[in-house]
Chain A
Amino acid sequence: MRRTCVVILLALLSLGIAWVVLGRSTAAPAITGPLTRLDRPPCITPDYREVVIPPNIAPLHFRLAEQINDWSAEIWGEQNVRRTLHGKGTDVRIPTSFWRSLLDSSAGGTIRLAFSGRHEDGGWIAFEPFEIRVAREPVDPYLAYRIIDPVFGCWGHMSIRQRDLTSFAETAILRNRTFAYDCSNCHTFHAHDPSRLALQIRSQDVGACMVVADGGQTTRVYTATEFNRSAAAYSRWHPNGRAIAFAAIKVMQFFHAIGHTRDVFDEASDLAVYLVDENLVTTTPAISDPDWLETYPEWSPDGSYLYFCRAPQKPVEEFRTVKYDLMRIAYNARTNTWGELETILSSADTQLSVTHPRVSPDGRYLLFTMCEYGNFSIYRPDSDLHLLDLTTGKYVKLPINSDRADSYHSWSTNGRWIVFSSKRRDGLFTHPYLSYFDEQGNAHRPFILPQQDPGFYESYLKVFNVPEFVTGPVRVSPNLLTRTITEPDFRQQAELDPQVTARDAGTPRDMPWHSVREVPGNPR
């Protein structure tokens, strides 16, 4: 009896293996029968046609959005690297080894893909080939981002993850499940260095704090002081790696009855700088004026200027009239002294609101978002990326924008790649898009972060937040980061710079978003 069972089990197992192996077979379907030639390339999703890709990117898997049952493709690059692929269904997965040789041989050149597809009735159609250009300059090998639900007020799971852009490997830097579903956000790296990162934590148990990882050392810094009652947000490392600029904000969220539902308004917002070595929070009245809302700090690559956005403080009912200017102020990191405030781009001129300034690594360009009003551009469908030439003072709207929100962008280390969050696919879920930025200052047609499953984005119910390029994998373990957040040994209270006057404890710390744990009736 037992032997019989074993035999049956083995037989079933063999059948299963055979089914899996044969089912995935890409045996060449012969192109027989009538062949119709179409004068257009095939529709594919994600749409990688005519994009420019880095020479070290993972294979671009996609789905043919055509009514076909089988496909056959001729793929060739430079130096006569060529291969014919076949597949059943509409999913196209290019073998990694072939993809690598294709990219290696085609850097600075073009890859061409010519597809034919077989209809249900057995007839074949041949599409026009399409091209993918391969840039010479590689992209940073890692991308860090936060994965979260499309949160309105209350979140559940969230995690900060890193993706190896040369493959499909994705690992967690930190999951909020390990610290009671509290919030982690605003991750930022010093000069794209994975060993030096800062991220913000908002926790019911340990409060609002900034986790700073510097090599193997980690600390949990409480940046709220007698000056800034709110903890840090939108932090950015100074190029010298010894200071972190941040915004201390009081945010509220409200909802519209039609159109895009969510909206955000800053009731108060000031900038400050955390000096890592001195464990001091410092600021100057020019960037922390109570009559103005200052936010989104960004350092120039040489560290001599702090760029930021600023708008006059108004009551919430006038939210549609709150438009931010682009400002900058000189800063001497050695002496911790501030210069004069300058307006770089005035909303009076643009009639739009500036957010998210990001200076290119060579210091020539400033990439920013503009939308109709406010500073939470990812909630504004009219948000678009713009490029300011800091040498001429002229700005242009980039051609890579869509009719939906395009925001939260970041430069690669070599300045040749831009990653930004876009809702262009569906209007709700943000996805990371990469765009080549050439030496003439042109941004090229962007492409979505490739995934192993060609249909990944069709059913993925999470959003990608704050994509940031990193030069390697973050090696500080999730376990250590969790311990840093939860254990008392890692705690460090920042001091207020004695030269900064303490303020009345007027600025509240509350945020409009909360964890599932904070909902009355839910468990603590």
Chain B
Amino acid sequence: MLKKILTHNRADRVSALARVALALPTLGAVLYDPPQPQAYAPWVFGLLLAYAAMAALVALVVWRRPLSAPPIGQYVHVIDVAMFGALVFLTRGVISPLFPLYLFSVLSATLRWDWRGALGTSIAIILLFLAAAALPGTQLDVGEDDLLRFVVRLGQIIVIGALLAYIGVQRERYWRELMRLARPVEAQAATIPDAIRLCLAHVRSFFGVTSAIFIWESRDEPGWRIMRDGDGPPLPPLPGQGWAGPVAGGVAGSTFEYRADGRDCRRYDGDGTLHTVTGQLLDPQLAAAWGMAEGIATAISCDALDGWLLIPKAATVDDLYLARALSVQLGAALGNAAAADAWRDAAAREERVRVAHDLHDGILQFLTGLSLQLRLMDRQITTDPEAVAGRIATLSAALRQEQQDLRRVLEGIRPRASGPAEPGGPMADWLPGLARQWDISIAADIAAEPPPAVADDIRLITREAVANAVRHGGARHVSVHSAATADAWHLAIVDNGHGFAVPGQFTAESLRQRNMGPRSIMHRLAQLGGQLRLETGPQGTRLDMCFSTPAKAHP
């Protein structure tokens, strides 16, 4: 629809300008040299004057209207043809000097309606032309070469109409191909081979072929791989290590046609020029094994791989251009799929590390401590039962806390259907558990709970910060402060450890540049879009974090 509106309105504008450019000189010429017969000259002048005025008015209207406005070209086109028919009739019919005006009608119709316009207008003009030849007063005078002019002009209209109809057909085809190229390549898949399969299906649909083959080499793994989507003989194994690929050297990155009969082929390197290729660029034996007697080969590259797409199809020049354009799209799609794959891989690895840390620093240590306490109680049960009773009470409380922590770890592992994880409750509920785990004191000043969307991450960040303070800074006391403003939530974690090796004030960016700082906290903050300021010195470390919160809608 958009294509139709844009095409029609642009054509209306171009035709409107051309109409003015045609009408004014014609009017001047008629004024300077009135046409025969003299009796109709005033009519001709009057009609042309009216036509010139209409042309100017149409140009004004068309150029002032927005492109999206409904087109008016069809009405003006009917007036054009009728007006030219009348002018030709009034100026000696088929031998009229105004006959070339008809050509404008055919051209503007082609611009506007492609082959349908060219064909329909040509037929209308031929009928008008024949009618003019048959009307009284315009009969041909064979002695004055009128017949010759009649035949030549008739031939002109037929040939020009046919050629313009052909151009219209081609234009429509280019539009369709442009629309096909504009279709996004859906290659988001769990693995690169799956993404390649989707790309091959796209290629089959794009070119309307029954099969397509992709041969590629990963940039990170040696060895070529092959995949076909669609029909064909079983694919034989590719040659082993050392094989340089299916295509002869010197044509890397190009698009070319292949023929098993060895005839010269065309190659397109994306530079706007077609080159002639003699000899076989594709290994003929392998091509035969892949069931490809002729076709197109085009290079595809992205960050993850380099490969060749083989399309078994008799190639036209347009096909080569299209294959070239498509290969760029496919390269981008595969690059995106590879990046997503790498991101998923990294995220899974990070999650495994996080879970391993949670389990190692949490339940595993607790169980070790518990077994030591039980052993101690076993020794003391007869000598100091009162102390044992006290230890049992303490251990029971610690066990409950550990169960809660373990539940939170499991909640963190469980896939989330949607939205953030269930937050681990108010901060005041889980901060004492951290204090017990690390045997330190924690002072909490919680003026505002974290936004629900980041609550679980805040718990993990705090846990990491406390563990770092104790393990690396030797801290014995940690203060946690939170506050909320209209558009942000703030968290400060302050410890009394001995600080980082390099004292000072840092942002996340400056920490990254110095390759220092709490990496997992920085990473998690970056994912949440939070900001970090770190101040560290011999008296301890202060982490200030800030998270934007969505503004509340005003009633």
Q: Do A and B actually bind?
A: no
Interface residues of B, Cβ cutoff 8 Å to A:
none
Interface residues of A, Cβ cutoff 8 Å to B:
none
